[in-house]
Chains A and B, each alone.
Chain A
Amino acid sequence: MAYKRDLGADELSECVQDFYQNLSDRLHTHFKGSSERVESVMDEVERYMMTRLYEEVFCPETTDDEKKDLAIQKRIRALHWVTIEMLCVPVDEEIPEVSDNVVKAITDVIEMDSKRVPRDKLTCITRCSKHIFNAINTTKKEAASADDFLPTLIYIVLKANPPRLQSNIQYITRFCNPSRLMSGEDGYYFTNLCCAVAFIEKLDGQSLNLSVEEFELYMSGQVSPQRPQAATSPACSAAFSQMNESLDLLTGLGVRQERVMEGARRLESDLIDWRDGVEHKVQDVLERFPLEMHPAASPTASSAIDADNVENDHLPSPLQPQLFAG
């Protein structure tokens, strides 16, 4: 397909899909294969073709898939503060079996990126979904409905932040065998993943039962909600509690520093006031008692004290310090 390198992603998809369609029609009509046989042949065809084509048609340069990947990745990072409670996820991570399933689900959805064949990618999503169902079942003790499943999947995607999420979704949509995507079980889970991504993109305060102000505070990182100690291992939870303690200390420190600053400012203004006050007083006094030059009654009167000291001349000259070389 080297000569098709210049085609856009949609045309590439069209080519591959037409090929699938024609081949499957031929298999049905010419070889009179049963549905099951045709399907398994088509699976192998998809595997061979997409393994070979992967490099060229995954996240092609003609699309803005890569930009979208970065956008969703950034978005998920910005939403790190979303908790289980906000999403109403019916999963209790305190139960070891549940948290185990949550971790497995996260691993599976991340693993999707490492597969080349659309169908293998779908299998990863399906495995992830099964782990989610296990987690819900263990928590709730009843069959999971879509009302339980979708919030949990959203939570998993937020936690996992799967690499190249949009590229993978686009790739599957473009090159997967359509019969699998439209009605099969894999298709159902894939659709839910698309829903989760759409939800994350549009998510606002209202969809988490938060006010606009709260949402803005969380998004700007000024506030982070009290997380329950939902850690996967004791070491982790210890680290978390330590971190929380440090955070508390830091907050206390901030408050105290603020107080010190306040005191310093007050002292400064006090000093200024005091200086002004003193200046004012001095000015006042100077005004009240202006310097009056009394005409000297007799110029000799002032030097009268020394005048009587007639013996002055007879005093020895002051001692000069002398240096003796010892």
Chain B
Amino acid sequence: MAAGGGAGNKTYSFKVVLLGEGCVGKTSLVLRYCENKFNDKHITTLQASFLTKKLNITGKRVNLAIWDTAGQERFHALGPIYYRDSNGAILVYDITDEDSFQKVKNWVKELRKMLGNEICLCIVGNKVDLEKERHVSVEEAEGYAESVGAKHYHTSAKLNKGIEELFLDLCKRMMETAQAEERAKGNGASQSTTSRRGVQIVDDDPQAATAAGGCCSSA
């Protein structure tokens, strides 16, 4: 659903799912990004499972909806219900926890199988403030991310490091994917899209053929 808004001045709406095991810090990550809070003792935030953020990227308005998912093993089978129709996925692991990285690998496999290359994947090693206790090597993580066509980021919700970049980058990539899709539709190439209603968006400015330009489908 990368649609919405008038033809010229349109707003992108993106759905991003947040995947990761229990204690990797998913919640801290989004809370830091959306409300700039960490371990806030005065709870003013009721929940961190569904958060939104409005952005303005190169003059285009973007509405980001971030869907947290239950990371416990017993809910693993429910994944597809959550990430249906999502534009991006943020897969979080804890750099001090090898298991959580393995879990990320499982999710990537599943996401690629279910959603193909239409979804932009971000693999995020959180808790870089605990660099001394690192158990997942940088080379391994980045190598893996590249091999599956995902981008890799290092973040620390505690120190507010790398988070802004992560989301900004993801938004840009999702916009590129959405634009490529619109062009494909404009050309009459009726590909199967995520939106089942065949949204007809008439894009005025003819963006020349730079289809493979850094969008996430180019691994």
Contact = CB atoms under 8 A, between A and B. Distances in A.
Interface residues of B, number: 44
Interface stretch (B73-81, B96-104, B162-170, B179-187): B73-81
B115 interface: no
Contacts of A148: 49
A207 B74 contact: yes
Interface stretch (B3-11, B125-133, B138-146): B3-11
B47 A147 contact: no
B43 A145 contact: no
Interface in A191-234: 191, 194-195, 198-199, 202, 206-207
A118 interface: no
Given A35-B6, A188-B67, A145 B197 contact: no
Interface string B91-130: 0000000000000000000000000000000000000000
A178 B195 CA distance: 9
Nearest to A17: B197
A254 interface: no
Interface in B170-204: 195-200
A134 interface: yes
Interface stretch (A55-63, A91-99, A135-143): A135-143
B46 A206 contact: no
A71 B15 CA distance: 33
Nearest to B61: A35
A28 B6 contact: yes
Interface string A109-150: 000000000000000000000100110110001111111111
B49 to A, nearest CB: 4
Interface in B48-104: 48-50, 52, 63, 65, 67-72, 74-75, 77-78, 81-82, 84-85
A182 interface: yes
A137 to B, nearest CB: 6
Interface in B18-42: 18, 22, 26-27, 31
Contacts of B68: 145-147
A149 B47 contact: yes
A185 interface: yes
Contact of A149 (B1, B7, B49, B85): B49
A195 B81 contact: yes
B81 A149 contact: no
A18 B197 CA distance: 7
Contacts of A137: 43, 46-47
Contact of A147 (B1, B22, B46, B199): B22
Interface residues of A, number: 43
A202 B49 contact: no
A198 B46 contact: no
Nearest to B39: A142
A179 interface: yes
A145 B26 contact: yes
A148 B22 CA distance: 10
B47 A188 contact: no
B78 A188 contact: no
A134 B46 contact: yes
A183 interface: yes
B75 A195 contact: yes
A202 B1 contact: no
Nearest to A184: B65
B156 interface: no
B200 A144 contact: no
A207 to B, nearest CB: 4
Contacts of B196: 178
A287 B177 CA distance: 109
A183 B13 contact: yes
Contact of B46 (A20, A143, A194): A143
Contacts of A136: 47
Nearest to A202: B77
A25 B199 CA distance: 9
Given A182-B85, A206-B74, A35 B5 contact: yes
14 contacts: A17-B197, A18-B197, A21-B199, A28-B6, A136-B47, A137-B47, A143-B48, A144-B47, A145-B26, A147-B71, A178-B1, A178-B197, A179-B1, A182-B15
Given A149-B49, A183-B85, 5 more contacts: A32-B6, A137-B47, A183-B15, A198-B77, A198-B81
Q: Give the top 4 A-B pairs by smallest Cβ distance, nearest first.
A: A146-B68, A150-B70, A145-B27, A207-B74
Interface of B: 1, 4-7, 11, 13-15, 18, 22, 26-27, 31, 43, 45-50, 52, 63, 65, 67-72, 74-75, 77-78, 81-82, 84-85, 195-200
